[in-house]
Structure 1
Amino acid sequence: MFDTDFNFANLGECIWNGQENGFRIGIAGSGAGFSVILDTIHSEPFRNFLPDLSLVALSELKQSPAMMPVPDLGVPVYDTFDQMLEAHPEMNLVVELVGDDDRLGEIRSKLDNSISLLDHREAIFFCGFYDMALTKHHFRVSFENQRVLLQSIIDEIREDIMLLSREGRIEDANKRVWQRAGKTREEILGHFCWQCATSRGGRQFCASLDPTCPFHRTLHTGTKDEAMFTRLDENGHLLYYRIYSYPIYDSRGNMTHILMMHRDITERTYQERHEQQRDRLAVIGEMSTYLAHEIRNPLFAIGGFANSLLKSTNLTEHEREKVSILVSETKRLDHILSSMLNFTKPSKSTLEEVDLCKLMTETVDLMSIGYEKHGYEFTTECNGKVPCVQGNAGMFKQCLVNIIKNAFEAMPDGGIISLKLDMRGDMAALSVSDTGVGMTSREQEKVFSPFYSTKEDGYGLGLAMIRKIITDYDGRIEIASKPGQGTTVTMLFCPVLGSCELPALQDDS
């Protein structure tokens, strides 16, 4: 049975706790364990295990000719223990390594209660402690090297990676997260992820806690999840992100953390949608060609009979009105069929050198006539170092005219239309900006789709046709817009004898 008066709290006391000022050590003899004792006192790996240790003196070293050079220790050496004891009253720990029991008894008899003694038999425990401490130091160094290597690898990953607590607070993150947020790693730790996550250019990714985030589904289901989000950059370009969430479990199977990864898939999404649209256009082209020819023949017959009826003098006014509608609708259908056929025809013809600055100036002069009096104002900016591009001047001018007309329709009460010609990488970029109503991200996703139109009487082939013409000449068209802040349409062209490599959307992440 246990003694009920025994204080178990004393089990937690360590012998070192009574030595707040550390130990001043004197060593007598240099037998087994001598080098281990010296390493224990002077080596860094042991400082986490022991109180402050300092060697003040050595004595009786004759029997160890193979020991380390005494002068390197920087402490005095005495022939006898008595000399050392008398010269260093500050000693409070004596280590006996003479290895002789009789000599040990003599040394013990000369020590008062303020000086502790560690004899040569007890020193063997230091050897075990020494090996354990070195092993721990080795594993610590190895672990630190592995940690640094793993952190370096994670920091080089292009995705944003955050380790979140169950409350959604950041406990760790890779370098991309805190660098793009303009903060240090320490500044983001402990904050909610939505307060620190950013998109390109350092813009805040979430304005508040988003209940649709995969984090919440993983938190409730305990399984990995993912979702796609769209954002606008500072210029109004549409950005695409895929967000992943992964549960992290401890050894007991409890979910302790959630790993979040933000992947920018903008370029990939644009490329995939471009390929999908190209395949879709091929199908639409074949179908449109077939339908146009099949419909046009009976349509000509209907139109011809309708025109003949309209010339008849036997029709009443009411009948003439109906026939007029019939003639008008057949003409409208014929116009739609012509547009469909033009859309399916290859637009690329013989190449020529096109001066975009001249083309822009001529187009603005043309469009100014009749429009400036309705409140529309043009501004132009032309970089004189932009080379000529390869293409068809007539088609490019028609594309520019149609884009400007779209700008007019976006500003029915007038506004400013800004045209700018500059270089973007190896491509010549011609931009048209308006101050109109702008577009939502959903409208941006569909704006280049054939037969999609925001106009009540539109056929939806305007921007789709422009895109087809530009891409047929190895160029590209981009759109950037924000609701209420206007729209910018940019056409990118290949310079004559240029490299003609399409630049990706600017990634300043």
Structure 2
Amino acid sequence: MTSSAKPNVLVVDDNADLLDNVCEILETVEDLEIRPALALNRHEAIEVCRSASTALDLALVDLRLPDSDGLRLSSEIQELCPFAAVVLITGDASLESAIAALEQRAFAYVTKPFRAPELLRTARSAIAKARAERESELLKQSLEASERRHREVVDAVPAFVLALDAEGRIALWNQELERVTGYERSEMLGRPGREWVGEGGEARLPLKDGGHRLARWQSTQLVGPEGTPVTYALGLDVTEERDMLRRTLQTERLAAVGTLAAGLAHEVRNPLNSALLQLQVLRRRVEKGQREPASLLPVVEVVGGEIRRLDRLVSDFLAFARPRPLELRPVLPNEFMQAMADLVRPEAEERGIAVELRLDRNVGPLDGDPEGLRQVILNLVRNAIEAMGTSGTLLLATEPADAEGNLALVVQDDGPGFQESAPVFDAFYTSKEGGTGLGLAIVHRLVTEHGGSVAVETRPGRTRFTLRLPQRAADRPPR
């Protein structure tokens, strides 16, 4: 049996002795614990059905009743108790009576006089069928209610919810998609839908009016009711977010341009003022007749130095503000750092600075722009040489790739260092006389464009710049 509840059984016959006989037979089945309701006519049977309603499991109905016939009553019982199985009792086991019973959707019919085992087998089967149908219907109603709640939740979510069947056809299209796109659910179900979610991430969402929105999708694949894969996708409208981000970036870009322009104007004004003052000195000396070289050349040298400073400032500014595209090619870090050491050694040794080289033979190649990397190392080396003055050691080194696949290029000096909190990578920040403040900003930008990072450690007596650059993919160690 499919339920532990006691079966509800109705027996209808105008013969009271037969009713008692049937009742005794049914009550002998201990595992069912049947306590049947008895009715002598149609009126009593209808009253029992109205009180039992959907809980009635079995009705045993005599074909001949004083106030009705069994076939008519069978139809009425099934209307009042839709899950009840009806078994007709007849003393006429003719073909016509069997056909009539089937036409009234009776479960079976038994003939008088009936044998107890036959009646019990029929009753068991009928009760099992009634309960199976009732439980199936209740399960169906529960599933429908669950699906209805599911649809209501899906439609109430302020996000795009879309499902694709195994063939990529749209199987679910919620109200938010209807509202935003203008496409009704009825016209979208069954249509190809993979282009709506793209490959995941962000994708254009076409609108019925010809426009589009931008949606960010996340999807997952589950097994559907029929055992086939179903892809569920949840999307958010990020159009305004992207517009706001674009406007923010534009605002930041304009602010950066303003900052650069203000910094450039400030840096240009200093050498211009100095050159102007020297030119005024030169004019006064010429007016006084002081035309000998010893009087004029120092002034000319100062003016020339300021002009060269302006030229360097403009060159650095252009390199920072209008960078050229990187031209990536395989670079061997050890050979590159060896070449850089050979390049800067004469200038360093002229100042009394030793150049030390530490190259790790386990360092693999990287994809880099040789000219850009050269500018990075030269900027760091020249800063180091200027910081050390007339003595010290300049270290150029390579280190093997870390767990993330990033190798290291190192430039280290034993100069005085600087405050660790100093914004050394900001444009126009400088701590040295005559500096443009763009050298380290250019270093930071070029390393970032290579997909790397730059870190600085400083204390009195040592400053160390470590450039982390991605090793070539084919040469990265396995994780």
Normalising by structure 2, report the TM-score.
0.38
Name the one with the larger helix percent. 2
Normalising by structure 1, report the TM-score.
0.36
Q: Computing the radius of gyration over CA atoms, which structure comes out larger, 1 or 2?
A: 2
Q: Which has the higher contact order (CA 8 A, sep 6+)?
A: 1
